[in-house]
């Protein structure tokens, strides 16, 4: 596996001579370069990383150059070329770049200028840049998720079709699983020819999406099995009660290289499972979870939490305690979210320490001395 840096980073301005703010689109690169005196220039060139590096080598030979650009649809290819060229580069989230509220004019040149000034001021924080193996795993898990979402959407379309036309949907099954018998029954349902045609086409789309999701899952397993580090990380994650193959592979694709993990609460924050807060003075005003990051990953963790409390006595007791301490109308939601947050701490631990999770079946029970 390659060793592309994936850590969350800052640029220390005193360590560099030139600061390059870069704004990209699919055809061009807008660049603004600054020095410590504020002298600089903006220019535009075709989207070509080697051309950008040639410009730097021709104009700033022997100088320490730092780059920054916003994460976007062009991916991390430019980052790879800049780092391979021997320079440091930050990829920053657009939402984290400070922007004046009264700014009403936005162009690529102005964006590159803003990045250059903020890079020189040390105000930018880079996101995690995954290495090649983790990027490919992410592509596969998002492919599977696209087809899983399409399966769900087609089921909703079929049920909606029955509801709109005043028909009774007779094929509800426990857990929402639609067997081949259910699908065949839908194809042969006793409705007018137009509706039967539409149902048949929707069932065709559903079957196709199910097959493609299954193929994507098979590709994920093969890819993980072919990469020793990914294989070991997935195995460690699956040692946690409630964490299965889908959750483990999806989580690993999102968090990336385990060597770059920070503190455990950062993983919960990354998945949007920490409380929001708007406090001032001595008062503390905490709200619902931030819901930052990937909503699908958060949903998978909630599902894993429901499975975990059925398998792990410690988490089951924690869920019950949390449930009892909240209002009835929100108790289950708050409690299961708290369990999901605990799962992220366990995931961080097994990845960081490279060891399996060991269940403690008697952890929730009082000691004999206390019982006496």
- In the chain, how long is the greatest CA-to-CA distance? 80
Q: Which of 93, 120, 147 is the last residue of a domain?
A: 120
At 13, the pLDDT band (50, 70, 90 cuts) reads very high
Residues 258 and 345 in one domain: yes
367 domain residue, yes or no? no
What are 328-349's pLDDT values in tens digits?
999 999 999 999 999 999 999 9
32 domain residue, yes or no? yes
Domain of 206?
Answer: 132-226
In the predicted model, what is the mean pLDDT of residues 194-216? 97
Residues 162 and 85 in one domain: no
Predicted confidence at residue 362, as pLDDT, reads 58
323 vs 367, more confident: 323
Q: Give yes or no for residue 102 having a pLDDT over 60.
A: yes
Residues 51 and 162 in one domain: no
Residue bearing tokens 């449930």: 323
Residues 233 and 349 in one domain: yes
At 103, the pLDDT band (50, 70, 90 cuts) reads confident
In the predicted model, what is the mean pLDDT of residues 218-233? 97
Predicted confidence at residue 284, as pLDDT, reads 73
372 domain residue, yes or no? no
Q: Give yes or no for residue 100 having a pLDDT over 90.
A: no
Neighbour count for residue 301 (Cβ, 10 Å): 27
31 domain residue, yes or no? yes
Q: Give yes or no for residue 365 having a pLDDT over 60.
A: no
Among 39-43, 279-283, 366-370, the least confident range: 366-370
Q: Give yes or no for residue 200 having a pLDDT over 50.
A: yes
How does the average pLDDT of the chain come out, rounded? Answer: 91
314 domain residue, yes or no? yes
- Percent of the chain topping pLDDT 90: 80
Residues 222 and 243 in one domain: no
- Percent of the chain topping pLDDT 70: 94
266 domain residue, yes or no? yes
CATH number of the CATH domain containing 74: 3.30.420.10
| pTM, entire model | 0.86
Q: Give yes or no for residue 281 having a pLDDT over 80.
A: no
Residues 70 and 96 in one domain: yes
In the predicted model, what is the mean pLDDT of residues 164-188? 90
The DSSP annotation for 294-345 comes to -HHHHHHHHHHHHHHHHH-HHHHHHHHHHHHTS-TTTHHHHHHHHHHHHHHH
Q: Give yes or no for residue 270 having a pLDDT over 70.
A: yes
Return the closest-CA partner of residue 183 out of 151, 157, 160, 206: 206
Q: How many domains does the chain have?
A: 3
Residues 220 and 254 in one domain: no
- Element (H or E) spanning 89, and its range? strand 88-92
148 domain residue, yes or no? yes
Encoded tokens for 15: 């360590």
210 domain residue, yes or no? yes
Q: Which of 67, 87, 120 is the last residue of a domain?
A: 120
Predicted confidence at residue 128, as pLDDT, reads 86
Q: Which of 184, 205, 226 is the last residue of a domain?
A: 226
In the predicted model, what is the mean pLDDT of residues 109-137? 94
Neighbour count for residue 345 (Cβ, 10 Å): 13
Residues 137 and 174 in one domain: yes
In the predicted model, what is the mean pLDDT of residues 87-91? 95
| Contact by Cβ (8 Å): 156, 239 | no
Q: Give yes or no for residue 369 having a pLDDT over 80.
A: no
Which of 2-11, 172-181, 309-318 is modeled with the greatest confidence?
309-318
């Amino acid at each position: 596996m390659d060793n592309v840096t994936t850590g969350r980073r800052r640029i220390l301005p005193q360590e560099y001579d030139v600061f390059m703010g870069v704004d990209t689109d699919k055809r061009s690169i807008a660049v603004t370069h600054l020095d410590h005196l504020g002298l600089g220039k903006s220019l535009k060139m075709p989207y070509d990383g080697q051309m950008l590096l040639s410009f730097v080598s021709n104009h700033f030979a022997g100088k320490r150059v730092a780059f920054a650009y916003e994460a976007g649809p062009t991916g991390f290819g430019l980052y790879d070329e800049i780092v391979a060229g021997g320079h440091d580069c930050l990829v920053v989230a657009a939402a984290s770049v400070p922007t004046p509220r009264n700014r009403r004019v936005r162009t690529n040149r102005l964006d590159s200028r803003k990045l250059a000034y903020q890079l020189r001021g040390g105000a930018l924080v880079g996101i995690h840049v995954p290495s090649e193996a983790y990027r490919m795993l992410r592509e596969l898990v998002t492919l599977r998720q696209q087809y899983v979402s399409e399966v769900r959407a087609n089921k909703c379309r079929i049920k909606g079709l029955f509801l709109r036309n005043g028909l009774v949907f007779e094929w509800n099954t426990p857990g929402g699983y639609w067997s081949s018998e259910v699908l065949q029954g839908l194809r042969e349902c006793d409705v007018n020819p137009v509706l039967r045609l539409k149902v048949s086409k929707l069932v065709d789309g559903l079957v196709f999406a199910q097959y493609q999701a299954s193929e994507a899952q098979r590709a994920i397993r093969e890819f993980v099995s072919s990469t020793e580090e990914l294989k070991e990380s997935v195995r460690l994650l699956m040692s946690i009660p409630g964490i299965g193959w889908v959750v483990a592979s999806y989580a690993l694709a999102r968090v990336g290289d385990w060597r770059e993990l920070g503190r455990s609460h950062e993983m919960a924050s990354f998945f949007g499972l920490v409380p929001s807060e708007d406090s001032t003075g001595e008062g503390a005003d905490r709200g619902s979870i931030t819901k930052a990051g990937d909503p699908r990953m958060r949903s998978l963790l909630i599902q894993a939490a429901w499975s975990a409390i059925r398998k792990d006595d410690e988490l089951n007791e924690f869920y019950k305690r949390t449930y009892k301490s909240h209002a009835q109308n929100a108790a289950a939601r708050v409690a299961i979210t708290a369990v999901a947050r605990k799962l992220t701490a366990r995931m961080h631990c097994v990845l960081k320490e490279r060891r399996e999770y060991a269940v403690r079946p008697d952890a929730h029970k009082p000691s004999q001395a206390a019982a006496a």
